[in-house]
Amino acid sequence: MKEKYNYINLKKYKLSLKWILPIFIIILILSFIGFRYIKTLTYKNIYTTISELGKQTVAQLNIAINEQKKFVETMVDSINRGYFKSESEIFDNFADDLENYHFTRLAILDKNGNGITSDGHTVTDYPITDEFFNFNNVYLSENRKSTISNDQINIYSKAFYLNGEERVLFATIYTEKYKEILLRRLYNGLGGTYLINNDGMVLIDSFDVIKENNVNLYDFIINKYNVTNDNKLTEINDMKENIRNKNTGTFDISLNNDTYFVHYENVGINNWYVISIVPASAMAEELNQFIAISLGVCIFINCIVIGICVYIDISNQMKNRKLYKAAYIDPITSLGNENYFKENSNVFLNSLKGNKYILTIDINKFKVMNSLYGYDFCNKLLNAFGEKLEKNMPKNNITCRMYSDVFATIFEYNKDIEQVLEKVNNAVSTIDVDNIKIHLSISIGVYKIKKEDKDINKILDKSYIARKQIKGTYNSYYYMFDQALENLLLKEENIETSMEEALKNREFKIIYQPKFSTSNEKIIGAESLVRWYRNDTIIMPDNFIPLFEKNKFILKLDLYIFEQVCKDLAYWKEKFNANLRVSVNVSKEHFVDENFIDEYVEIANKYNVDRKNLELELTESATIDKSIDLVKIANKIKSYGFSISLDDFGTGYSSLAMLQELPIDVIKIDKIFVDKADLNSKKNMINYIVLIAKQLGTEIVVEGVETKEQADFIKALKCDMIQGYYYSKPIEKESIEKYFIKDDKALI
Ligand code: C2E
Ligand code: CA
Ligand code: CA
């Protein structure tokens, strides 16, 4: 059902940022930590890759150099064994293998550096140091310039004897050749390798950026990237230091907006070092992958968590909305319910400046309609009625269905209020439901709210009280709460403040109204009736019982009266040996809990009174209340041995079927059926009522018999008992006792 009324402020679903934001921040922090973690992992991975590459390079270099050394060793071995007579024989023999080992030429020189080369050059005065003239091992020189071609070369040398004379064999290699052998470019040419000695002098540069000889790699890097930052200089110096100490290491350094991964590895020959350098940009793929993964994971987690938050948030709001609806919205009319009315009217009333009114409206004879048209139809009727009602009120209003067919509305109106009443009355006088035109009459209680009125319950009560005044006045559909009602309320308030005190002070007293047998006119019972002796006046029960029923004080009062009756019965039994059956009125307010009877049993036991002589009067009108199961309650009362009478019979709404189920001993026909003013016109009616009572097979008492004419009529109907002024008004306890003593009319 759609929400019709804007004053019921159902908020739109809205995300509450106040707790999504902190969660978002937490995720951000977690993502950052995750990002750092993945970055560390990736760096570690790159470190491993690059150091592996460095080690591989070193291994390849070692293999190649050792093979070259072995070749030189082999040559010298075979010369030493005397296989060759002359230099030319030697050169010829090994000419084919030179190429395989990347050598350019061989040379055989004497101690003074004079000799010839395998490609026909004559060498004179080549500076032969002791390192070259080594008979034990093959010596590998550092880079040096070739005296023949000016190229950078390295020389492998070993000394030997040729025909008894000392000679040295040189195998020369262009330094450049090392590149071919081993110094592959890394990462599609973006990474590369330097071969340096431990002073940092560059032997080979696979990047081909160093054109000059005798370049120091450290200085070269510092100059090329213009490194001035202390931290970076320290990093370079650390590498320098480590290399000098023959250590191996890996690090990364940021230069010119790129990060370079560097690995240095000791070759183990001539204090040479392999430096592998790869810029991060060369690893873009790996890094991009890393960034993509981290970003993806981050977004994914964010989406999931935010999704969950949104879901929880919305479903909470939905739940709240449902709860709100269940708590405050009347499902039949979509108007606010009584809770809504009571909780919101104060704020609303405070916002109004002019004349404020409350109306409570009910539909006359709605119960009859319910049984005539059925609940479904009548619910539709209520819905249409609520809608029309709300529409025809002054614009700014709160209109709610309070319960059943009772609606309440508050609003401001500064002209003649009768205009509003007339408009509403006209609007709802006919209502269309399922194309059936229903004619309605309503009763409106009106109260003009005063400034000092703060308690909405009291305000509501005043309009309810006003509405009740309409009953019976046929030509009026509304009643304005007036001074007379105000006075009545004041009196009630007065009673309420003094009732507890009155109970303590024993201001409530009992009088008894005897019941007489119609056959012999002897007293066979009495009804206890309460009176309130207040100051010097006697207050009659009609003036306070309804109020006590409303405020539940009746629960206490009834028990108090019952106890007094038990006391009197015990006294009469002892003093007069009298067994009078006394009836006590039990308000229907007790019936909300069937265990109320336990207290009655306890009191009867306390005074040792025979429960048969205690007759509990239940009013027939108790059956109106749907929540009361009178049959169950009566059965329970009966099970304890009390007698039961059904009071005010004929005025209630009980069905014959239900009456048949009730375990009653006595039926008390209400006094309206013997009204002396129009007894004749009611004779048929009372006949009928007595007939029903007789069918139920119980004793029958007729109440309110005031005249001989009434008494004769009742006697003729063969009812069992009469209770009325004709025989006796309600009398003091002492006056009852006179019947026992006189012993003429009392049935003892
Ligand atoms: P009820 O139970 O119908 O009591 C009978 C009422 O009819 C009594 O009025 C009684 O005085 C009055 N009555 C008896 N004979 C005649 C008669 O010939 N003519 C007229 N006009 N009236 C007659 P009362 O004592 O004013 O009590 C009024 C109602 O107050 C009782 O009606 C009963 O419903 C209630 N009530 C009285 N005492 C108690 C009590 O202790 N507890 C409860 N819960 N209700 C009580
Ligand atoms: Ca009664
Ligand atoms: Ca009665």
The C-alpha atoms of residue 83 and residue 76 are separated, in whole angstroms, by 10
| 36 membership: H or E segment, kind and range | helix 17-80
Which ligand is located closest to the Cα atom of residue 541?
1
Which residue lies with its CA nearest to atom 27 of ligand 1? 541
Where is pLDDT greater, at 666 or 282? 666
pLDDT, tens digit, 9 for 90 and up, residues 309-341: 778 878 888 888 888 888 899 999 999 999 999
Residue 29 structure tokens: 């922090």
Per-residue b or e along 316-337, where b marks 16 or more CB atoms closer than 10 Å to that residue's CB = ebeeeeeebbeebbbebbbbbb
Is 746 a residue whose pLDDT tops 50?
A: no
Residue 513 pLDDT grade (very low, low, confident, very high; cuts 50, 70, 90): very high
Say if ligand 1 is within 6 A of residue 545 CB: yes
Strand order of the β-sheet with 397-403 is 397-403, 406-412, 356-363, 442-449, 478-480
Which ligand is located closest to the Cα atom of residue 725?
1
Task: Classify domain 507-746 by CATH architecture.
Answer: Alpha-Beta Barrel (3.20)
Is 200 a residue whose pLDDT tops 60?
A: yes
Query: Residue 350: its pLDDT value, please?
Result: 92
Per-residue pLDDT, averaged over 680-685, amounts to 82
Instruction: Give residue 601 CA to ligand 2 midpoint distance, Å.
Output: 20
Query: Residue 747: its pLDDT value, please?
Result: 45
Query: Residue 3: its pLDDT value, please?
Result: 44
Residue 428 pLDDT grade (very low, low, confident, very high; cuts 50, 70, 90): very high
Query: Residue 666: its pLDDT value, please?
Result: 96
Of 157, 6, 14, 140, the C-alpha closest to 73 is 157
pLDDT, tens digit, 9 for 90 and up, residues 545-593: 999 999 999 999 999 999 999 999 999 999 999 999 999 999 999 999 9
Is 514 a residue whose pLDDT tops 80?
A: yes
Residue 540 structure tokens: 């009659």
The C-alpha atoms of residue 312 and residue 308 are separated, in whole angstroms, by 6
Which residue lies with its CA nearest to atom 4 of ligand 1? 529
Instruction: Give residue 616 CA to ligand 3 midpoint distance, Å.
Output: 12
Which residue lies with its CA nearest to atom 3 of ligand 1? 648
pLDDT, tens digit, 9 for 90 and up, residues 82-137: 888 888 899 999 988 888 888 999 999 999 999 999 998 999 999 988 889 999 99
> For the domain 338-481, what is the CATH code?
3.30.70.270
Instruction: Give residue 730 CA to ligand 1 midpoint distance, Å.
Output: 9
- Cβ-based neighbours of 390, under 8 Å, separated by 6 or more: 4, 5, 335, 397, 399, 409
Query: Residue 474: its pLDDT value, please?
Result: 65
Domain boundaries, the chain: 1-306, 338-481, 507-746
Percent share of the chain, pLDDT over 90: 52
Say if ligand 1 is within 6 A of residue 714 CB: no
Query: Residue 12: its pLDDT value, please?
Result: 60
User: Which amino acid would we find at residue 691?
Assistant: L
Say if ligand 1 is within 6 A of residue 529 CB: yes
Which residue lies with its CA nearest to atom 42 of ligand 1? 585
Which residue lies with its CA nearest to atom 11 of ligand 1? 730
Which residue lies with its CA nearest to atom 41 of ligand 1? 530
pLDDT, tens digit, 9 for 90 and up, residues 342-395: 999 999 999 999 999 999 999 998 988 888 889 999 999 999 999 999 999 999
Alpha helices in 187-283, H assignment, sequence order: 217-224, 230-244
Say if ligand 1 is within 6 A of residue 554 CB: yes
The SS3 assignment for 237 reads: helix
The angle subtended at Cα 336 by Cα 331 and Cα 338, nearest 5°, is: 100
Query: Residue 314: its pLDDT value, please?
Result: 81
Where is pLDDT greater, at 616 or 177? 616
Is 506 a residue whose pLDDT tops 80?
A: yes
Question: Residues for the chain: how many in total?
Answer: 748
Is 7 a residue whose pLDDT tops 70?
A: no
Which ligand is located closest to the Cα atom of residue 729?
1
> For the domain 1-306, what is the CATH code?
3.30.450.20
Q: Taking all residues of the chain, what is their mean pLDDT, rounded to a whole number?
A: 88
Say if ligand 1 is within 6 A of residue 540 CB: yes
Which ligand is located closest to the Cα atom of residue 529?
1
Which residue lies with its CA nearest to atom 34 of ligand 1? 585
Residues 50, 54, 56, 58, Cα dihedral to 10°: 180
pLDDT, tens digit, 9 for 90 and up, residues 446-475: 999 999 899 999 999 999 999 998 876 667
Say if ligand 1 is within 6 A of residue 565 CB: no
Query: Residue 181: its pLDDT value, please?
Result: 66
Residue 71 pLDDT grade (very low, low, confident, very high; cuts 50, 70, 90): very high
Domains 338-481 and 507-746 share a fold: no
Is 5 a residue whose pLDDT tops 60?
A: no
Where is pLDDT greater, at 33 or 514? 514
Say if ligand 1 is within 6 A of residue 659 CB: no
